[in-house]
Structure 1
Amino acid sequence: MKQKETIHIIGAGISGLIAAYELEQAGFHPVIIEKQGTSGGRVQTITVEDFQLDLGFQVLLNAYPLAKKYLDLKALRLTKLESGAQILVDGKRYVIGDPMRNWKVLLPTLFSGIGTIADKVNVLRLNLLLRKKSLDEIFNTPEVSTLVYLKVFGFSDTIISRFFKPFFAGIFLETELQTSSRMFEFVYKMFGEGYAMIPQDGIGAISAQLKAKLVQTTFKFNCEVESINSTTITLKGGEKIPNQGAIVTSNAAALIPNLQDAQTKWKSCMCLYFEVNQTSIPDRTIALVADQGKLSNNLYAYKDHKGRTILSVTTLKHEGMGEEEITKTVKKEIQTYCGTGHVKHITNFRIKQALPNLENLKYTSEPSASLIAENIFIAGDTQFNGSLNAAMESGRLAAAGLIEKKSGWFS
C-alpha cells in the first residue's frame, strides 16, 4: 500500500488538533509543529505552585455544535454554571437569571432594579427570536455593533450598563459592546440552548482530550517555524522540511511571504487569581462589577481539588499599569465586593492575544476556501469568529480542503 504524503500542521491549538484528527481519519499521519512545550494554544490549564489555574477565565458552551461532535462531554466531568449572574453595583448585590430554567430567580430578577419591566419583556422576546433563528441566518444578517443592536431592540441604558456591558465584556473582551451583533446573537443563542460549563480538571482538559484522540500524529514541541512556502517549511535554526501539504493555524501573516490582509488584530485581557477564605458570590455563579471606574469586570469563585476557595478576576483595563498596582487595586475591590477576609494573591496572567478582533464574522465556509497558497491551508478561529466552535470548524475545514485537494476534487 502506497504511503500517504506527510502533512505538517503549524500549531497545536484547538484547530490544529481537530485538523490532525480529521487527517488521521483519512489515513494520514500528520506532524504537528508547536513552538511551545505543550498543546492547547489559548485553551490551557497551568500549574502554579500547587494550584491548577486556567489561562484566563474560560467556559465551554455545551450547545456548540462542534463541541458535541468532537468532545466526550461526559468524560470532561463538567460543572454547570448557573444561567444568570450576580450584579455588583452601588454597594448592592443582585442575582438575576433565567426563570424558565430556575424558578427561584424569578422574583429576584423581576425586582432587581437592573432593568425595567419592559427590559424583562424584551429579554423574553430576544430569547424567542434567537430560539427560532438558525446559525446560518445569524451569520448572514447585516452587522451592527452589539450596543446599537441592543438599543434598537429597545433595551434601556440601565440594563445595558448594568448587565449587558459587564457580562458580554467578559466574553467579547471589550467594554463598549462594539463587537459584531452576529457574535452577540450567536453567543446568546448558545447560552439559551445550553449551559456555560467548566471541566472539573480545568479548561485544559478539552485540549488534553483532543490530543489523546490522536494515535497517528507526531508532535514536535519547542519547535518554531520561521517561514513556509509551497515547497519548503523552514524552522528557526535553518532546518528545512519538504512541504507536501501544510495547515497553518496561527501567525500566518508572519510565516507566509506576500500574504495579503492576513494580519490579525487582537484583544487582550488580564486574569488575576487569589486564594480567599470566603466569598459572597453564590456557588457556580459569575459575578459582574457594574460600577464605573473599577478594574474588576467579572469574578468567579470555586473550590479546587484541595478544597481551597479560588477567586478568578478578569480585568480589561490593565494597559499602562504595573503588576503591583493592578494586583493591589483588584485585591481591595474584591475585599469590598466579595466580603473576603484573608486574601492571598497567587498569580496573574496577561494574555495579549486573548481573542481575535474581527469584522464580517462567519460561521463556516467551503473547504476549498482554506487554501491560501499552493500546498498551504489556513485554520484558526481568526477565520470565522472568536470562539472554540470556530476554532474546531476551521480545523475541520482546512483538513477537508487539503484532503479534497490531494484527491483532485479542486485545483
Structure 2
Amino acid sequence: ACALELQKNKIDFHIFEASDGVGGRVRSDIIDGFILDRGFQLYNPSYTEGQRLLDYQALDLKPFTPGVAIRDGKRLRIVVDPFRSKDFRYRLLKDLPGSIFSQLGLLSYFLKYLITADAQISVSADISAQQSLTKSGIKGSLLEKLFRPFLQGVFLESELNTSRKFLDTVLKTFLRGIPSLPAQGMQQISNQLASKIPSENISLNTKVLRIEGNKLITTDGEIETKKIVVATDPSTAISWLNLEVKKMSSVTTWYFKADPKVNSIVKSKPLLFVDGKKSGPLTNAVVLTNAAPSYAPTGQVLVAASAISPNENAELIEVKKHLAVLFGVPTDKWELIKKYEIKEALPAMNPPYSLINSNQISNDLFVAGDHRATSSIQGALISGTNAATLVKVSLGL
C-alpha cells in the first residue's frame, strides 16, 4: 500500500523483502493441491482501503455464512444474521443463548453502532471489550457462549481485554460486509498489490540487517537513500525504532484433510464453529471448502482448526478429539496436512488505544504496519498509505 501511494505520486522507491515472497503474515502455501493460508484468516470486503486498492472481482471472494455454530454440549446452536442469511435464520430465536434481557441488550448494542458515525468511535472513552459488552447488558450465557468464543478468535485473546474502540470497529465491519476467502488463497491479496509494482522495484530474499542514518545495511550490501519506511513485523520495528513495546498474540492453525461426513451437520454451509462449553483446546474450527471448494482438490474437504494461548501447543490427539466434539463426527481418520505456529500473529490493542498512531519517526524515517493502526488488513493498508503521504510531504511535494 505504501509503495502504491509512492508510485501514484511519482516518487522512486525500492522494496527489500527478507523472505521469498511478498505478503508478510498474509501468505499461502499449496500442499498436495490444498491451499493453506499461513494461519486461518479471512478478508472483509467492507474494508474501505481494500475497496480502493484491490480488484474484488479478480480475487473472486467466497463469503462465509454470516453467523456462528456454537457447540453447547450435545446441542448445536446456530446463530446467523437473519437479514443476510436465509440459512438457519428460523433457528435464531431458539438458538440464541442468554436471557431476554441480554438479548435486548444485544439488539440495543447493534442498533447503537449501526447509527454511530465512525469518527465517534475514536472520541468516546475507551474501556475493554468485555466492560463495553457487559455495560450494554451482554452478559451471562450470551457473553460466555457466543461473544467470548467468537471474539477471542478475532482478537486472539480470551479475556476480551482488547480496546472497546477496536471492538466497535470490528462489529461495524461485520455488519457492513461478510468475511470471505479469495478463491485462490489469502496470498492473492498480497500478489495483487505487488502485481501493480514493477518487479525490478522488489528485491526478495534480501534481509535488512540494520539502519544507519540514511543507509540500509542488507545481506546484499549497503544502500543509501533519502527516506526509509520500516514496514516490518512489529517486533523488528519496535527494536529498530525504539517504539513502545506491544504484546503480540500467538495462534496455531492445524489443517486437516477431513471426511466429507463433516458437511452433513450444517448442510455444507460455511459456518465458523466455536465451543460454548470450552471442552477442549480449540478456539474455532471451520470447513474451508464449504466456502471455497478451490482450497482443495475436487471432492476433497479441508478443515482449519485454530487455538490461541495458552492452548497453542496442544497435542494433535487433543485437537482431533475436540474437533470430534465440535462437529459431532469421528475425526480419528482425518489426515493432518500441516500445522502453522504463528508466534506474532497480532499486536495487542489494550485500552486506552489510539486507532491511528504516528507513522513518522523523524524527517527521513517512517514506520508502517497494523501496529500503527488496527490489528487487521485494513489497518495495515491504511498505515502504509499514511506513511507514503508523510514521505511525500517531507520531500516537499
Shift of 1:217: 5.6
Give, as a single letter, the amino acid of the residue that structure 2 aligns with 1:276. A
1:350 to 317, 320, 341: 341
**Partner amino acid, structure 2, of 1:249:** A
The residue matched to 2:209 in structure 1 has which SS? Answer: strand
| 1:332 corresponding residue in structure 2 | 321
- Could you tell me which of 283, 297, 322 is aligned with 1:306? 297
Provide closer, same or farther for how the CA distance between residues 99 and 198 of structure 1 changes in structure 2, counting only shifts above 3 A.
same
CA distance in 1 between partners of 2:286 and 2:69 (Å)? 10
Seen in structure 2, the aligned counterparts of structure 1 residues 254 and 213 have a Cα distance that, compared at 3 Å, is closer
| 1:249 alignment partner, one of 223, 228, 231 | 231
Does residue 117 of structure 2 align to residue 134 of structure 1? yes
When residues 49 and 116 of structure 1 are mapped into structure 2, their CA distance, relative to the original with a 3 A threshold, is same
Deviation at 1:102, TM superposition (A): 2.8
Task: Measure, in 2, the Cα distance between the counterparts of 1:215 and 1:340.
Answer: 50
**SS of equivalent to 2:56:** coil
Query: Which whole-Å CA distance do the structure 2 matches of 1:82 and 1:109 have between them?
Result: 14
The structure-2 alpha-carbon separation of the partners of 1:206 and 1:320, relative to structure 1 and needing over 3 Å to count, comes to closer
Match of 1:172 in 2: 155
Within the candidate set 272, 278, 281, 1:295 is matched to 281
Aligned residue type for 2:250: S
2:238 and 2:48 map into 1 onto residues whose CA distance is: 31
Alpha-carbon distance change, 205 to 257 in structure 1, aligned in 2, over 3 angstroms? closer
Letter in 1 for 2:257: E
**1:397 pairs with 367, 386, 389, which one?**
386
Give the Cα–Cα distance (whole angstroms) in 1 for the partners of residues 234 and 37 of structure 2. Answer: 26
**Matching residue within 307, 313, 317 for 1:315:** 307
Q: 1:78 aligns with which of 61, 72, 92?
A: 61
Contact 1:272 1:349 (8 Å CA) reproduced: yes
2:28 aligned with 1:45? yes
Provide the secondary structure at the position in 1 that maps to 2:285: strand
C-alpha deviation, 1:28, in angstroms: 2.5
In 2: Cα distance, 1:386 partner to 1:217 partner: 30
- Tell me how far apart the structure 1 counterparts of residues 302 and 310 of structure 2 sit (CA, whole Å): 21
Please tell me whether residue 267 in structure 1 is matched to residue 249 in structure 2. Answer: yes
From 21, 44, 61, the equivalent of 2:4 is 21
Matched, 1:361 2:353: yes
Identify the match of residue 18 of structure 2 among 35, 44, 56: 35
Amino acid corresponding to residue 326 of structure 2 in structure 1: Y
Normalising by structure 1, we get a TM-score of 0.88
Corresponding position: 1:384 with 2:366: no
Question: Equivalent residue for 2:217?
Answer: 234
Matched with 2:82 is 99
Matching residue's letter, 1:356: P
Q: Secondary structure at the match of 1:60?
A: coil
1:62 aligned partner: 45
User: In 2, distance between residues paired with 1:131 and 1:386?
Assistant: 22
- Distance in 1 between residues matched to 2:14 and 2:336, nearest whole Å: 40
Identity, % of aligned pairs?
23
One-letter code of the match for 2:11?
F
AA paired with 1:292?
A: K
Q: 1:312 offset after TM fit, Å?
A: 0.3
Indicate the SS of the match to 1:348.
strand
- Give the equivalent residue in structure 1 for 2:362: 373
* Residue 92 of structure 1: how far off its partner (Å): 1.4
- Of 269, 276, 284, the match for 2:270: 284
Cα contact 2:250–2:309 (8 A) shared by 1: no
Indicate if the aligned counterparts of 2:106 and 2:136 stay in contact, CA closer than 8 A: no
Provide TM-score, normalisation by structure 2: 0.91
Query: Counterparts of 2:239 and 2:45 in 1: how far apart (Å)?
Result: 38
Offset of residue 379 of structure 1? 0.5
Q: Please say which of residues 289-298 and 346-355 is displaced more in the overlay.
A: 289-298
Counterpart residue type for residue 352 of structure 1: K
Give, in whole Å, the separation in 2 of the partners of 1:396 and 1:90. Answer: 47
Asked if the contact 1:32/1:217 (under 8 Å) is kept, the reply is no
Give 1:256 shift. 8.2
Letter in 1 for 2:345: A
- Residue in 2 aligned with 1:160? 143
Provide the aligned length of Structure 1 versus Structure 2. 384
Q: CA deviation at 1:263?
A: 3.0
Comparing 185-194 and 294-303, the one that deviates more: 294-303
